[in-house]
Each structure stands twice: as structure tokens, then as C-alpha cells.
Amino acid sequence: MSTCVVRGDKLAARKVGGEMVILSAEDSSMFLLNEVGTAIWEAADGRRSIQAIADVLCAEYDVDRATALADVTEFVESLAAAGILSVADEAAG
Amino acid sequence: MTASVMDRVRDRAVADRIPISVHFDLTYRCNERCVHCYLDHEDHGEMTTAEVTDVLDQLASAGTLFLVFSGGELLLRKDFFELLAYARQLQFDVKIKTNAMLITQARAERIRDLGVRQIQISVYSHRPEVHDAITKVRGSLERTIAAIRFLRDCGLNVTVANVLMRQNASDYHGVRALAEELGANYTLDPTITPKMNGDTSVVALRMPEPQLLRLFKDSSVVGDGFCGVPAAVDAETLDSAACSAGHIACYISPYGDVYPCVQFPLPSGNLRQQRFTDVWWHSPQLNEVRSIRVRDLTTCPSCTYVASCTRCPGLAYMEGNMRGPSSADCDKSKLRAGAPGAEGTSL
């Protein structure tokens, strides 16, 4: 079964000065993502898996796939713990 | 909200002049007739649904994150939920300001489901006879409280906003207790502004000095250190801008007029005739507002209280000079410190 990374639906988000600001309507927690985090966030469109997001990162940055995969996995896990992202079993849409 | 992250976002917005925060009144129509209101409630041609959604698209592109939807009573717009859904689809952080009279259980659930982060509701008194006399609608407090319960039952973040004036000057403890009972946050504001058309008659409703002083000395409400010796004046203070109005924030009326702030009705452009970015970047009025630093003000730089004053440039503008003092804030500074400043105004 394929998995995909899904953004929460009670979030506000805007790119400010090249970095993504995320704000949760549920608990007012706020996150400012760096450039790489912003790229991961934008790639997490509800249809891509962690592996597919790592591929996007490899295409955009000079990074090997193992490093990209580790970075994406860590990023998704940390935002999932905050309730901002989740990993779903099937692609949305 | 994490303060350090918010500070960083604000700094970035300032550096790039991003209109990070926009107050958008969707209508001036209202189902209350509050005695102190600064608006004309007649509909002079509100923007249509398509016009509003186009403006929202423009704001999202310009970088706006914090969006306040207000009025008038915005739930009088038949397309309110359509506009709210559209704003949330564009991932704005939405705050709603309402009297809540039209919020039912079902509407509270829709607001929750659409991901609204904050709802601010006006409550003037815990006593129905006082609240209803201010709104001029019998039963309005009862309906507003019922709506707050609906919203809180949905787990929504509600703030009770308590505007204080002569009529309800002594009721803030009661309103705060009511807010606590309802599980809502509480905020108070003794600011009564002239009407947008320049009529200053409502200013007479401002709290008299003895009542204002009692409020300022009530540490259970304003906290410790609110009154006392004003902060020292330094170069940083004199080089600072007055506030965020026109710098990273602005106001949009139901007719598409752009002002620096809801409390600063300096016509700066109209979104029926201009693109938002054209107004934001090229309006001579907004650029003039942005150019003003504290050291440019007419009397404030030499005032003892300049470093701790809450001077509102919009109120100063409504008094005739956006570089002049805002006498209501002069009075507040004087009361907080217990002596006259440069302006030496009196109530």
C-alpha cells in the first residue's frame, strides 16, 4: 500500500521572505520553516510519499538520495508530532 | 503562539514591506446600533462575492497571512461562509470579529470546520440592561452569550472584547468573570474613536478621567507596572515608526477603499480601480505614513512620555494632523504617570 504526506486542514500558511510560516488554528502553534523545510512542505501536496518528496529535494538541491530521504523523514516525523503533517495510507485526490 | 517565531516573521515582513496583516470589513451593515459605533451602517455598494474573492487572491499573492474579517456584522452577508471558505482555501490565518447574534450551533460548527483560529466577540456588560442599552437591541446579551457557548462547545478560541465607555465603565470585572465562566479570553479597550465621516460626537462617551484612572491603577486588570515613571527616551525610540499601520498592515473597507488601519481613515486607494499591490507599493498616502518617524512628530519628540506612549497616528489624523499628538493618548500617558507631558492636554 502506498503512503503519502498530508498537510493538516486547520492550518494557515504563507511564504514570508522565502520561508514558510505555518500557523495552527487548533492551538495557535507557529512554525517558521527554513528553505529546505519550505521545499519539503511545498512538495508535501497530499499525493507524494516521503520517498517522492526526497526525489524532489534531490532534483532541487545538490544532495544525495540517502541524505535527502533521512532529512525528509526527520522533518515529516517532527511536524507529524506537532500535528502539522501526517502520513496517510493512500494518495489524496 | 510562539513569541520568538512571531517576532522573526514580523521582522521579515518589515524588512520586505509585506502586508502581513489585513483587516477586511466585509460589510458596514449591522444588526446592532451601538451608541459608540464609528460606522455608517447604510450599504453604499459593498463589493460583490467575485470582487472580494479577487481581493483575497491579491492579498494571498502579496504575502498576507493574518486576515481579520469584520464589519458591521459580517454574518449579515449571505455569502459570508463562501468568502470564509475561500479565504481558508487560500490558507489565511482568519480571525473573525462579530457580535455573534447570528451564530447558531450549526454555524459554530461550520466556523470550526473551516479552521478559523480566533473569534472576537463584543460584550459591553454582564448586565443585560447595560449591554442592551449600548447595542440598542433588547435581548442582545442573551443571544451573544448563547453564541459564545456554541462556539466554545465546538472548542473554538473565543475572546470577549470589552470596549469601555461612560455607560459601562465599572462593569469590566463582571465581564471578565463572565468570560472566564464561558471559557473565553478577555480583553478590554477604553478607546472610543470618532466616526469615519469625521463626526466626533461619540468621543463624549469616553470614560471620564476618574474612571480611567481607576482602571489604570487596577493591577488585577492591567497588570503591574502599567502606571509609573515613563521609559527613558533614546535614539531608537525617536527613529522608530509609530505603529504597523501602512508598514506591514492595512485596512480594506466593504467598498474596496484601502486605509493604513481601521482606525486611520486616510484614503490611500480603491481596489475597484487599482490592484492591491499598486496601492500597497505606490500609494502616496501610504508612502507618507511610512516615512514618518517619532522624531518627525510635531510635539511628541520632546514629551516625557514618548517612549511609553500608546500614541495612535490614526487618532492624530482624525484630530487633524497625522504628525500631531493624539490627545486621548496624551491623556492616558498623563494618567499613567500622574503629570502632564509636552502636550499637557486635559480631558
- Write out pLDDT tens, residues B20-44: 999 999 999 999 999 999 999 999 9
Domains of chain A: 3-83 (3.90.930)
Q: What is the pLDDT of residue B123?
A: 98
Answer yes or no: is pLDDT of B346 > 70: no
Contact state of A12 with B94 under an 8 Å Cβ cutoff: yes
Q: What is the pLDDT of residue B3?
A: 65
* DSSP conformation class of B274: S
Provide the sign of the torsion angle of the four alpha carbons B6, A23, B158, B131, taken in this order: positive
Of A29, A24, A5, A2, nearest to A13 (Cα)? A24
Q: Higher model confidence: residue B225 or residue B151?
A: B151
CA distances from A73 to A7, A78, A88 (A): 15, 9, 14
> How far apart are alpha carbons B264 and B322 in whole angstroms?
9
CB pairs under 8 A between A and B: 60
Residues 6+ apart with CB under 8 A from B242: B292, B294, B297, B311, B312, B313
CA distance B337 to chain A (A): 35
Provide the sign of the torsion angle of the four alpha carbons B103, B90, B68, A79, taken in this order: positive
Contact B251, B229 (CB under 8 A): no
A18 → chain B, closest CA residue: B12
Q: Which of B18, B115, B117 faces A16 most closely, judged by CB atoms?
A: B18
Of B235, B245, B230, nearest to B289 (Cα)? B245
Task: Please identify which residue in the block is written with the cell numbers 514591506.
Answer: B17
Given CB atoms, is B65 within the 8 Å cutoff of chain A? yes
* DSSP conformation class of B48: P
Coil vs helix vs strand at A74: helix
Q: Which of A16, A23, A29 faces B63 most closely, judged by CB atoms?
A: A16
CA distance B304 to chain A (A): 37
- 0.90 cut: is pTM over it? yes
Answer yes or no: is pLDDT of B1 > 80: no
| Prediction ipTM score | 0.90
> How far apart are alpha carbons B264 and B288 in whole angstroms?
13
Contact B62, B18 (CB under 8 A): yes
Other CB atoms within 10 A of residue B114 CB: 18
Q: What is the pLDDT of residue A93?
A: 44
Q: Once rounded to an integer, what is the mean pLDDT over residues B52-64?
A: 98
Q: What is the pLDDT of residue B222?
A: 84
Other CB atoms within 10 A of residue B287 CB: 12
Of the ranges B97-111, B296-310, B315-329, the best mean pLDDT one:
B97-111
pLDDT, tens digit, 9 for 90 and up, residues A51-90: 999 999 999 999 999 999 999 999 999 999 998 999 987 6
Other CB atoms within 10 A of residue A53 CB: 26
Q: What is the pLDDT of residue A70?
A: 95
Q: What is the pLDDT of residue B307?
A: 87
Other CB atoms within 10 A of residue B53 CB: 18
> How far apart are alpha carbons B213 and B338 in whole angstroms?
9
Contact B47, B256 (CB under 8 A): yes
Contact state of B18 with A17 under an 8 Å Cβ cutoff: yes
pLDDT, tens digit, 9 for 90 and up, residues B244-292: 999 999 999 999 999 999 999 999 999 999 999 999 999 999 999 999 9
CA distance B39 to chain A (A): 30
Which pLDDT band, with edges at 50, 70 and 90, does B344 fall under?
very low
Of A65, A18, A13, nearest to A44 (Cα)? A13
**CB < 8 Å & 24+ apart, contacts of B215-223:** B215/B164, B215/B169, B215/B172, B215/B188, B215/B190, B216/B332, B216/B335, B216/B336, B221/B172, B221/B173, B221/B176, B221/B188
Coil vs helix vs strand at A80: helix
User: Which residues are bridge partners to A30 per DSSP?
Assistant: A23
Of A26, A45, A29, A14, nearest to A79 (Cα)? A29
pLDDT, tens digit, 9 for 90 and up, residues B63-109: 999 999 999 999 999 999 999 999 999 999 999 999 999 999 999 99
pLDDT, tens digit, 9 for 90 and up, residues A25-54: 999 999 999 999 999 999 999 999 999 999
Q: What share of chain B is helix, strand, coil (3-state, %, to 5)?
A: 40, 15, 45
Q: Once rounded to an integer, what is the mean pLDDT over residues B125-129?
A: 98
Asked if the bond preceding B72 is cis, omega within 30° of 0, the reply is: yes
End-to-end CA distance of chain A: 16
> How far apart are alpha carbons B336 and B146 in whole angstroms?
37
Answer yes or no: is pLDDT of B341 > 70: no
> How far apart are alpha carbons A12 and A28 in whole angstroms?
10
Given CB atoms, is A16 within the 8 Å cutoff of chain B? yes
